[in-house]
Structure 1
Amino acid sequence: MIRTELSTLGEFGLIERINQQFTPTLPQTIKGIGDDAAVIDTGTDEYLLVSTDMLVEGVHFDLSYAPLKHLGYKAVAVNVSDIAAMNGTPRQITVSVGLSNRFSVEAIDELYAGIQAACEAYKVDLVGGDTSASRSGLVISVTAIGVVQKDKIAYRSGAKPNDIICVTGDLGASYMGLQLLEREKREFLENPDMQPQLEEKAYLVGRQLKPEARTDIVYELQDAGVVPTSMIDISDGLASEILHLCNQSGMGAQVFEENIPIADETFLTADEFKVSPLTIALNGGEDYELLFTIQQGDYEKIKNSPHISFVGFMTNDPQAVELVTKAGGRFPIQAQGWQHLNK
């Protein structure tokens, strides 16, 4: 038999391969695999949104520095982010966990305390889930359920030429927070008596351990009367996500380096680690900010928002997805984010 390694496909290639084998047959299935959430018609003026993400110990988190309470919160936030990326509002979640006997009852209480805190923060109900034994560490799978008005939904595929590309918050902070935590872990292994030196890096570490879904932006856009023409959350880095929007919309893009939002803390820490802040912003991932496009006419409605940066515009040349540097050079944007099936 011919054996094909998963690494030859990568995560997105595998998803596309699976997608090609399944065609929705029910009229209620409006959107299946391929966006931030599945879209289901309930026969009302709203669509139902459903999204699932899995966090696996040793792949997505390291319990040597990730507190269980923060981990529970993050597991919910990253799924709520997918609902927000459809311009939707989260309503319910289910949580399934795979556990080994190394975890105590008190440890699981701590994990679920984080889940409960996230439920309160995002106004969602925990309505079910499953528990199972695990021989390979802790596994957390969360399904988020939300709703969106049918005329307000934002897919990845709706961008048009000259639409303005928008980014919320700042980028690269989560990746730098991870680098700090990994460095502290290495130093601790060499010297167990050392004390962590992370007080001045609380923002970066917080962005890694306890990210927030940008549900606030959904409400802000709604209040401003703006419906994004396309939208995605930034889980794998700005470069990867802009390519998703371009590929699914059949568009090209120009993104201006000088407009990409990067926090001062990220700049300083990237310099400390001798890495490019721009590279981190483009490829770091796990920021869980929102990347979206708007019509030119909507710019005036949100131009003064302190939470939104306008980083570029869409073009009608799908072969040209480019970064425009401060010096005026143009370079193809390539996704170099983390490919966990290559590990």
Structure 2
Amino acid sequence: MQQNRTELGALGEFGLIDKLTDGVELNDNGTVLGVGDDAAILNPSKGLQVVSTDMLVEGVHFDLSYVPLQHLGYKAISVNVSDVAAMNCVPKQVTVSIAVSNRFSLEAMEALYSGVKAACQNFKVDLVGGDTTSSRSGLVISVTVLGESSNNQEPVRRSGAKEGDILCATGDLGGAFVGLQVLERQKVEYLANPEMQPDIEKYAYVVQRQLKPEARMDIIHELSELEIKPTSMIDVSDGLASEVFHLSKHSGIGFNIYEDKVPIDRETYNTAVEFNLDPITCALNGGEDYELLFTIDQEDYKKLEKHYDIHFIGYAQELSKGINLITKQQNVVPIQAQGWNHFNEK
């Protein structure tokens, strides 16, 4: 059955904006005026504000041969919210700008924005503006998020870890990278045989980790309720090893990480083995998990020791001792960061 296709040129820029932002609701008290004027009007609280911007480029960050537009819209918001979470702050408003070629229809852009709106609703963040323009190549999405510190606390930086702090990771790691391998294999098989049917049901968890990551705002709210302020924090976008190096560089300390404490989901583990990949390497260097990595004072350990989704994977030590992985055999192996580099191919 032929689907309806509305050309973007028939709408014009402002007509497209009206279509895509139709039904957007404002929920935050700090948003006075959202989409529709030359600029949004905000009335922030007395807390400090944080601002972060991310850009997603077709062919670099996503492949539309296997990434649904709804999921892409959701992910674009989620990865930006994750940056705010990584500062121990709460997201308030976002702007979304897109550059799009004439190969995309209005219906395709509405699918993209359905994901954007779903994420905004889930993370309780207001869509207050953005821009649209034409592109001569692929789709480009740029999102800016504004957030605020909670409970009048200073945002948590990468630079506060000290010797003896406990290194914590949320959720599980390596799944997004393994999910990408599944999708890439399916793409190769499809190109070889367009009649084939996708077979990804048994990989549902790792595929979802790649296509629709969830920013861990739940952890931020729980830390606030427990009155725990991490000493340093970052989100795992480029791989665990890379993020540990960032904490080390900014805090001036080293780390020991225990291999048997790094959280890896069973499906991630089994699928990695199927692809002849080392599961711990996937966790260390894979990236795009968007979990939180943070350090806490030892005195806060008791408050979190029974938390089902926060894992104690190592500790901070003096810088001269380096950054090491303590293997299951108790060998000390220096870690090298080999995660995603935005200016080189993997």
Offset, 1:318: 4.6
Does the alignment pair 1:178 with 2:180? yes
- 2:48–2:154 CA contact under 8 A, matched in 1: no
- 1:234–1:241 CA contact under 8 A, matched in 2: yes
Question: Distance in 1 between the 2:154 and 2:131 partners?
Answer: 33
Does the alignment pair 1:137 with 2:154? no
Corresponding residue for 2:251? Answer: 249
Shift of the 317–92 alpha-carbon distance from structure 1 to 2, 3 Å rule, reads same
Question: Distance in 2 between the 1:340 and 1:163 partners?
Answer: 30
Query: Which amino acid is the alignment partner of residue 184 of structure 1?
Result: Q
Secondary structure (helix, strand or coil) at the match of 2:343 reads helix
Question: Distance in 2 between the 1:212 and 1:316 partners?
Answer: 33
Corresponding residue for 1:167? Answer: 169
Secondary structure (helix, strand or coil) at the match of 1:315 reads strand
Question: Distance in 2 between the 1:174 and 1:289 partners?
Answer: 11
Corresponding residue for 2:208? Answer: 206
Offset, 1:44: 6.3
Q: Deviations over 1:16-35 (max 9, x none)?
A: xxxxxxxxxxxxxxxxxxxx
Q: Which deviates more from structure 2 when the two are superposed, residues 44-53 or residues 193-202?
A: 44-53
Larger Rg: 2
Does the alignment pair 1:155 with 2:157? yes
Name which of 184, 196, 210 aligns with 2:198: 196
Q: Deviations over 1:272-328 (max 9, x none)?
A: 000100000000000000000000000000111111000000012255111111111
Offset, 1:225: 1.2
Query: Which amino acid is the alignment partner of residue 298 of structure 1?
Result: D
Q: Cα RMSD between the aligned structures?
A: 1.2
Corresponding residue for 2:55? Answer: 54
Question: Distance in 2 between the 1:290 and 1:317 partners?
Answer: 22
Consecutive unaligned residues in structure 1, runs of 5 or more: 1-41
Question: Distance in 2 between the 1:178 and 1:110 partners?
Answer: 22
Name which of 218, 225, 228 aligns with 1:226: 228
Q: How many residues align?
A: 302
Q: Deviations over 1:129-148 (max 9, x none)?
A: 01111112000000011100
Query: Which amino acid is the alignment partner of residue 262 of structure 1?
Result: I
Secondary structure (helix, strand or coil) at the match of 1:254 reads strand
Offset, 1:223: 1.1
Which runs of 4 or more aligned residues in structure 1 lie more than 6 Å from their structure 2 counterparts after TM superposition? none
> Percent same amino acid at aligned positions?
58
Superposed counterparts of 1:41-80, under 5 Å: 45-80=46-81
Consecutive unaligned residues in structure 2, runs of 5 or more: 1-42
TM-score by length of 1: 0.86
- 1:250–1:318 CA contact under 8 A, matched in 2: no
Question: Distance in 1 between the 2:319 and 2:191 partners?
Answer: 51
Name which of 274, 281, 284 aligns with 1:282: 284
TM-score by length of 2: 0.86
